[in-house]
């Protein structure tokens, strides 16, 4: 048995939320519960969607926060209400493939020492039939550690992890734009074992806004702070730190259209 942990806030789409929940209820291995965190007051339409699903299924557990706390804090709050040791994460605008949970549970059963199981994701525009790229990540733990020195080694919207291992590393902590990446590094340093399934198990909703959010001086300064933290934690050597600062800072401050082309050309397998 496992829990699914979701967080929704007022800016999200009621249509996308419904598609997300539908994909969770059509799995070959169904979750024991879906813990849905309302991160602050929602719109009437979002509340209507949630109320409709509460009538359809009894496995949805709603956690209400009085004010918007941000994703990391909302997920920490939701974890306290997760009954099971295994927790699957997902964003409320994405769509899980029908065998997602079955494939991840198979890995936990096969490798008892694994604490975090990720997978690839298909990035789509408009409809899931229009997949434009696939975010692929390395499979085995040592490869993941090496990759983590360069980029985020886990696709957060498709991860499943052991609750105890996350809590042992301090849970999600506030770090704007990097809450999940920061968690993975702390878990790696704490001895947690990682694995990435070498197939896509989720449709990730892609938009040009993604690149705007991942660029500009504000994002660049947060990333510099994050890299400095990884250096102070001993995860990055001096050479690795300097290389990351040089490459990432340039990527963040270049025009959005150029960053978009670089992102697809260098970091994704296009279809």
> For residue range 118-127, what is the model confidence (pLDDT) as tens digits?
999 999 988 8
Range of the domain at 265: 212-270
251 and 190 together in one domain: no
Question: What mean pLDDT, rounded, does the chain reach?
Answer: 91
pLDDT digits (tens, 9 = 90+) for 126-144: 888 999 889 999 999 999 9
Domain termination residue (choose one: 206, 224, 246): 206
| Distance between CA atoms of residues 49 and 38, nearest Å | 12
CA distances from 113 to 109, 172, 190 (A): 10, 22, 14
- Same domain assignment for residues 174 and 241: no
Same domain, 127 and 222: no
Q: Write down which residue in 172, 206, 240 finishes a domain.
A: 206
* Sequence-separated (6 or more) residues with CB below 8 Å from residue 192: 115, 116, 165, 168, 169
Residue 95's pLDDT band (cuts 50, 70, 90): very high
pLDDT at residue 241, rounded to an integer: 95
Let me know whether 200 and 218 are in one domain. no
177 and 253 together in one domain: no
Of 206, 224, 241, which marks where a domain is finished? 206
If you write DSSP's letter for every residue of 95-156 in order, what string do you get?
EE-TTHHHHHHHHHHH-TT--EEEEEEEEESSSTT-EEEEE----SHHHHHHHHTTS--S-G
Lowest mean pLDDT among 1-15, 143-157, 184-198, 257-271: 257-271
The residue-averaged pLDDT of 225-233 equals 96
70 and 180: one domain?
yes
**Per-residue model confidence (pLDDT) at position 174:** 87
Say whether both 199 and 97 belong to one domain.
yes
Q: Rounded distance, CA 68 to CA 132, Å?
A: 32
Taking the whole predicted model, whether its pTM rises above 0.85 is answered as yes
Residues 29 and 105 occupy one common structural domain: yes
Question: Quick one: 178 and 224 in the same domain?
Answer: no
pLDDT grade, residue 57 (50/70/90)? Answer: very high
Q: In this structure, are residues 132 and 271 in contact, taking their beta carbons and an 8 Å threshold?
A: yes
Average pLDDT in the 19-39 region? 98
Query: What is the reported pLDDT for 210?
Result: 60
Beta bridge pairs of residue 200: 120
The stretch 159-179 carries a mean pLDDT of: 95
Q: What is the mean pLDDT of residues 236-240?
A: 97
**Is residue 188 domain-shared with residue 225, that is, in the same domain?**
no
Q: Are residues 154 and 249 in the same domain?
A: no
Yes or no: say if 78 and 92 are a contact pair by the CB < 8 Å rule.
Answer: no
CB–CB of 262/270 below 8 Å?
no
Helix 238-253 to helix 217-232 angle, to the nearest 10 degrees?
A: 170
Tally of domains in the chain = 2
Q: Are residues 188 and 240 in the same domain?
A: no
Phi, psi torsion values for 113, nearest 5 degrees? -80, -10
Q: Pull the structure tokens for residue 203.
A: 């449709």
Domain CATH number, residue 35: 3.90.550.10
> Residue 64 pLDDT > 90, yes or no?
yes
Q: Does the structure show a pLDDT above 50 at 89? A: yes
Sequence-distant (≥ 6) Cβ neighbours of residue 50 within 8 angstroms: 8, 17, 36, 38, 42, 60, 62
């Amino acid at each position: 048995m496992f829990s699914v942990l979701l967080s929704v806030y007022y800016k999200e789409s009621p249509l996308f939320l419904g598609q997300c929940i539908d994909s969770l209820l059509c799995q070959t291995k169904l979750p024991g519960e879906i813990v849905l965190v309302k991160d602050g007051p929602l719109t009437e339409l979002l509340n209507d969607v949630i109320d409709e699903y509460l009538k359809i299924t009894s496995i949805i557990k709603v956690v209400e926060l009085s004010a918007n706390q941000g994703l990391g804090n909302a997920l920490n709050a939701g974890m306290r209400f997760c009954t099971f040791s295994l927790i699957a994460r997902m964003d409320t605008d994405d769509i899980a493939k029908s065998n997602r949970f079955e494939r991840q549970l198979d890995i936990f059963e096969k490798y008892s020492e694994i604490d975090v199981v990720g997978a690839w994701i298909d990035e789509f525009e408009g409809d899931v039939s229009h997949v434009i790229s696939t975010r692929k990540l390395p499979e085995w733990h040592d490869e993941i550690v090496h990759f983590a020195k360069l980029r985020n080694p886990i696709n957060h919207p498709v991860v499943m992890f052991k609750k105890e291992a996350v809590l042992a590393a301090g849970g999600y902590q506030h770090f704007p734009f990097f809450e999940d990446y920061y968690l993975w590094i702390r878990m790696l340093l704490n001895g947690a074992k990682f694995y990435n399934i070498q197939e896509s198990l989720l449709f990730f909703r892609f938009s040009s806004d993604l690149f705007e959010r991942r660029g500009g001086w504000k994002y660049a300064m947060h990333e510099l702070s994050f890299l400095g933290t990884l250096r102070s934690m001993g995860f990055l050597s001096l050479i690795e730190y300097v290389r990351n600062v040089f490459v990432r800072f340039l990527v963040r401050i270049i025009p959005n259209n150029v960053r978009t082309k670089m992102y697809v050309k260098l970091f994704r397998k296009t279809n």
